[in-house]
Structure 1
Amino acid sequence: MLRYRLTDSDFGGVHFGLSPLCELGLSLRAIKDPSAFPLQLPWLRRTEQARSLVDLDTLLALIDDRFWTPDFLNPRPASPLTRIDDEFQALARIRTSTFHRDLEAVHGRIPGALSGPPREAIARMMRALQQLWDECFAPHWPRMRAVLEADVTYRGRLIAQSGLAAMLNGVSSTVSYERDVVSVQLRDPVDREVATGGLGLTLVPTMFTRRASAPVGSGPPMVMYPARGQGALWETERVPNPSAVAAIVGEARASLLTALAEPASSTELGVRFDVTTSAVNQHLRALRDAGLVTSTRYGHSVLYFRSELGTALLAASGT
């Protein structure tokens, strides 16, 4: 059990962040054991051929049988706008002592594929991570990011509606909050309590954890938790279409209006309904002009959600 004890100054420092490098590192779990991550099997199938171009020997040396990865692959994101290029630049400058320390914290030793002169091993790792990103992540990252951003938006609304405690207790079945302590049930049998000391707590949604994860060593206060909505990421969504509303606004717009009970970007909706983003944007603009949906900018994305008028329209149709 890992416990983060929050101080009064920490409560204002509880925030969300997105880390492409963290997502890249955690994806090694699904690559190592696909059966443990059924929601990501579509991604694994889509990238199977691309992974044949990647140095998997080096990458799989970064993860152990417990699905632990070294802390240098889980940087604390400063915001939801973190770019993979910035994270790669920072990782390439890692101290050799930190590189070896974090590997030994996971494996108890330096794996063979990452042995030898440390700077050469770091360069080899960087090439493999860049390959994995270019071949398997870059084509799909807009979809993934849309789901992660929608999760953050949902959690933010939950804080506004029900408070920080309700949000923290709903992040994962293995995360709980009580009396200023955030408890995370980990596979590590060692009990640890960390006083955050004003550093705050960063919450990072991810596609590649089933429970909740945290730094292995003395990393910054951070909890990585399973993002909502990832099960529908690779599937075409079919929603019940209220005929009365469809007769007024059309079937496509009625489906979008029904789906927007939770915030979503046009990219995410395009994936869910298997239509182009430009077509979704056209429908969303029409719905927004009619006052049926509202929008807000979040990072690089615009998130849409149903307005009170849109909800009233669906309610009147019996949906």
Structure 2
Amino acid sequence: MAVEIRFTAASVARVRFAVSPLGETVLALRILLGTGGHAVHQPWVRGARPLLADEHELPLLRALIAGPMPSFLFPVPQERLPSMAAELELLRATEEDFFQREYGAVLGVPVEEAPEPAAVLARLAEALQRCHERLIAPHWGRMCAVLEADVGRRALTLVDGGVQALFDELHRDIAWDDGQLVVHGRRTPHSVHTVDTGGHGLVLLPSVFNWPNVGVDKSPIAAASIRYPAEGVGLLWEAPAPTLSGLAPVLGHTRTALLAALAEPLTTAALAIRLGITPSAVSQHLGALRGAGLVSTQRRGRTALHLRTERATHLFNISAP
């Protein structure tokens, strides 16, 4: 079913970006509970799944996440990069009527039989905080670098080409159609769910764990939101080389500078500009760094995107002055 997001002139002017640690935590749980996820996340899944073994709120989490998920699990961030604590406060502050309506729809129970919102939301917030600390926080630095780099690229597109250019490149399932945004296919009779922004605007959230899909909040209470797959996700979990024998060529000013720059995903051309060397020289150094398991590369058409691995981050941190 297609989703049509209707805009007013005011809401078009209020398109913005945000990163959501709470949203990523919920989507990560959905993968671990066996109800979603792409093969690209399997290296992370293997290490993360055992960390959920002693979570006593798994029945509650599974009930809410296993199928269509309630919108109250995804409060729209009020700032570009909120803290997990700030988002959990938004979760706890979910309006009672909205909670009961969403809870009832997801679990298939009458609204009047939905539990007391405050108690359930408190339990959820505590459980999601624990899950974030175990599953997301150890990787959040790299994840956030990927997400913020994506926001930076999209923002430039918005500045250079406007809303039309932004939506044209955001995802193949998103189309700007005669002043309306259509997600997941073409509009046909009786197959469109309509979301009205009501002048509140639209928040675009790059996502790691929703990759490679697009997600739309179909029942927003304020701003509408779309979660789209961030570029560079395929670089996050790529395993480094199995031995340390390739580390010897890493030493040197240029390669150290490359590792420093690759805290965020960058192209060969961008690295060449940043370091003031030729693209061919960048490629040679990157080849050595890949051989040492310190850089991962993902190709998209003619463009190669590079990011340092977790091993490189550790090496760089202990070696930096």
1:45 matched residue in structure 2: 46
Residues 276 and 224 (structure 1), Cα distance of their counterparts in 2 relative to 1, 3 Å cut: closer
Is the contact made by 1:64 and 1:107 (CA closer than 8 Å) also made in structure 2? no
Range 13-22 or range 205-214, more displaced: 205-214
What letter is aligned with 1:234? Answer: W
Residues 81 and 118 (structure 1), Cα distance of their counterparts in 2 relative to 1, 3 Å cut: closer
Select 2:231's aligned residue among 225, 228, 231: 228
Cα drift, residue 251 of structure 1:
4.3
> In the TM superposition, what are the counterparts of 1:86-235 in structure 2 within 5 Å?
86-109=86-109, 116-185=115-184, 190-209=191-210, 210-219=212-221, 220-235=223-238
Is the contact made by 2:6 and 2:180 (CA closer than 8 Å) also made in structure 1? yes
Q: Residues of 1 paired with 2:14 and 2:50: CA distance?
A: 42
Question: Structure 1: where are the runs of 5+ without partners?
Answer: 239-245, 286-319
What letter is aligned with 2:213? Answer: R
SS of the aligned residue for 1:109 comes to coil
1:299 matched residue in structure 2: none
1:305 matched residue in structure 2: none
Is the contact made by 2:235 and 2:307 (CA closer than 8 Å) also made in structure 1? no
The one-character-per-residue Cα deviations of 1:137-177 (angstroms, maximum 9, x if unpaired) are: 22222221111111101111222333321221221121111
Residues 271 and 45 (structure 1), Cα distance of their counterparts in 2 relative to 1, 3 Å cut: farther
The one-character-per-residue Cα deviations of 1:76-117 (angstroms, maximum 9, x if unpaired) are: 112222111011122223333322211223333279xx9654
Select 2:58's aligned residue among 56, 61, 65: 56
Between the two proteins, what is the percent identity of the paired residues?
28
What letter is aligned with 1:191? Answer: V
SS of the aligned residue for 2:16 comes to strand
Cα drift, residue 257 of structure 1:
7.2
Is the contact made by 2:259 and 2:312 (CA closer than 8 Å) also made in structure 1? no
The one-character-per-residue Cα deviations of 1:261-291 (angstroms, maximum 9, x if unpaired) are: 2879xxx9874373136737988x9xxxxxx
Q: Residues of 2 paired with 1:105 and 1:115: CA distance?
A: 10
Aligned residues: 268
SS of the aligned residue for 2:40 comes to helix
Question: Structure 2: where are the runs of 5+ without partners?
Answer: 242-249, 272-295, 297-305
Cα drift, residue 17 of structure 1:
0.8
Residues 200 and 44 (structure 1), Cα distance of their counterparts in 2 relative to 1, 3 Å cut: same
Cα drift, residue 39 of structure 1:
1.7
Q: Residues of 2 paired with 1:33 and 1:223: CA distance?
A: 23
Is the contact made by 1:235 and 1:271 (CA closer than 8 Å) also made in structure 2? no
Select 1:260's aligned residue among 255, 260, 266: 266
Residues 222 and 277 (structure 1), Cα distance of their counterparts in 2 relative to 1, 3 Å cut: same
Q: Residues of 2 paired with 1:87 and 1:100: CA distance?
A: 20
Residues 160 and 60 (structure 1), Cα distance of their counterparts in 2 relative to 1, 3 Å cut: same
1:27 matched residue in structure 2: 28
CA RMSD after TM alignment: 3.5
The one-character-per-residue Cα deviations of 1:199-243 (angstroms, maximum 9, x if unpaired) are: 1111011112232111132443111111111111122579xxxxx
TM-score (norm 2): 0.71
Range 226-235 or range 215-224, more displaced: 215-224
